[in-house]
Structure 1
Amino acid sequence: MPAVSSLLVVGRAAVAEDYRWFGGIRDFGEGFCFTWIRERTPQQVIKQSGGKELERIGWDQLVGSGDGQEVGADRYFYGVAHVAEWTLMIEDGGTFGTTDSQVWPLSRGTTLISHYRGKDGRGRLLVLDDQSVRLDFDPMAADRIAGSGAEDLRPVIDGAGFAAAQRLRPGDRNEYRAYCTEAAFALIERMTGVAMTKELLETLTYLFTSVPRSSVRSS
């Protein structure tokens, strides 16, 4: 198994405050999922997930009314784009990136990082390395972390903002929830080396893709 240090990159030691801008985005009221897959192209991800590209869209179309996941639908929907050495999948209210049967195959031979938050604020930050769980926890409960890298990565997790989040926990729930979301994005930046700014998201072109919920790929 690769060393835990291989999950980290040299670059800005991002912290929660770097992602305060995310709180200004009101389009994710039903939740979101951001999934990063290393050294895979968007086309490879679409093919491996059993998806079909529907159209090429911009950020406003991806998160605006009408393009989000429909509750009870028989398909997943995501927008996918190439960023540095990663492919980034974004779901507006979707759950593809937190569905084990979907993301495990996508992590074969590479690293996959998924950050999901549901409408109720609960979520999941999952790091898979070649189908092995390195981290798995709810950002709202960062005192309970699973995965083979949990212990060694604890200082990095705390430094990204989760130690500060615990001090906010007894206070305002909305403030705590927002800060945990920001800390999760900061932690992911420390692992991808990509500063996910609003400007970056707005400049990308996304391949809007649908995937049957019954689609499970093993390779």
Structure 2
Amino acid sequence: MTSAAAADYGWIRSSSSPFRYALEVGYTLTLVRGVSPAELLSLAGVEPRGVCDGLDNLIEQHQELIHGSDDWAESILAGACTVRGEGGEWTLALVFGGDLGSPHFMEALSAGTCAVSHSSNGGKPMHFFHWHENGELRTSFEWPSVRTGSTPDELSAVMREVGLNPTGDQAPDVDSKAAVFALAERLTGVQVTQELLTTAGYLTGEVPEEPAEDWDSITIDMTDAHGERTYVHLRRDQF
């Protein structure tokens, strides 16, 4: 296991950081051992569309995809490349403005291996971390002190070492996102650097947005300040 800590990933916030775009628009970064970029995209239901060199070109392709949509993009861009980590080759997959598909994707991806992901939805304060082993969610959290999974406390000591507080409020002088990067490195042995992101060759593909489920009616349940509950049932033809 490496000795990475939050301070090692302070570069993600710098004005020249290639990762600032991802923090602004939202991202999901996934690391999986022993699965190739092509296999990862295939599991996500993505048809590879070619290779682009470097993060700048990946960002440009993402912007073209967004600007080419009249209203809301029906797909998001994924880029995947091979990196070195603990035990051999890993795949790093980076998605802007979304994730790689269904909630069961990480379970399938981690079957027989290890997969770690962390994400942000951009400007809103929602940041997630997931660690899967052999198809099982071991530890997951939005707030480090509120964890779920089959072994929610297994990473507690490592979380403290990288700068996260597993039992209370986060220290204000520690960048929790940088600490999450360090936690992912501790689990995978993959050191994500500016050079790695800017020089990698990414196999790209478009991840289709899942269609919204069809519906005929909804029920709105409202409770006022006095504890009185009101139910309103609306049919689709009333909208």
The two structures have a TM-score, normalised by structure 2, of 0.73
Of 179, 186, 191, the residue aligned with 2:182 is: 186
What secondary structure sits across from 2:111 in the alignment? Answer: coil
Query: For 2:133 and 2:64, how far apart are their aligned partners in 1?
Result: 30
1:1-219 matches, cutoff 5 A: 10-11=1-2, 13-24=3-14, 25=17, 26-28=20-22, 29-57=24-52, 58-64=54-60, 66=63, 72-84=72-84, 85-96=89-100, 99-119=102-122, 120-138=124-142, 141-163=143-165, 166-168=170-172, 179-214=175-210
Structure 2 unaligned spans of 5+: 212-239
What do the CA deviations read for 1:6-56 (whole angstroms, capped 9, x no partner)? xxxx33x11101000001233121111100111111111122222111121
Q: Please tell me whether the aligned partners of residues 68 and 92 of structure 1 are also in contact (alpha carbons under 8 angstroms).
A: no
Which amino acid letter does the alignment assign opposite residue 201 of structure 1?
L
Which amino acid letter does the alignment assign opposite residue 207 of structure 1?
L
Which amino acid letter does the alignment assign opposite residue 91 of structure 2?
T
What secondary structure sits across from 2:165 in the alignment? Answer: helix
Query: For 2:207 and 2:36, how far apart are their aligned partners in 1?
Result: 17
Q: Please tell me whether the aligned partners of residues 62 and 92 of structure 1 are also in contact (alpha carbons under 8 angstroms).
A: no
Q: CA RMSD in A?
A: 2.4
Higher relative contact order (CA 8 A, sep 6+): 1
Which amino acid letter does the alignment assign opposite residue 74 of structure 1?
E
Q: Please tell me whether the aligned partners of residues 107 and 137 of structure 2 are also in contact (alpha carbons under 8 angstroms).
A: no
Aligned to 2:215: none
What secondary structure sits across from 1:181 in the alignment? Answer: helix
The two structures have a TM-score, normalised by structure 1, of 0.80
Q: Please tell me whether the aligned partners of residues 44 and 100 of structure 2 are also in contact (alpha carbons under 8 angstroms).
A: no
Between structure 1 and structure 2, the one with the greater Rg is 2
Structure holding more strand per residue:
2
Change (3 A) 1:68 1:155: farther
Q: Compare 102-111 and 159-168 and name the one that shifted more.
A: 159-168
Q: Please tell me whether the aligned partners of residues 78 and 94 of structure 1 are also in contact (alpha carbons under 8 angstroms).
A: no
Which amino acid letter does the alignment assign opposite residue 79 of structure 1?
G
Query: For 2:5 and 2:65, how far apart are their aligned partners in 1?
Result: 29
Deviation at 1:76, TM superposition (A): 3.4
Structure holding more helix per residue:
1
Aligned to 2:221: none
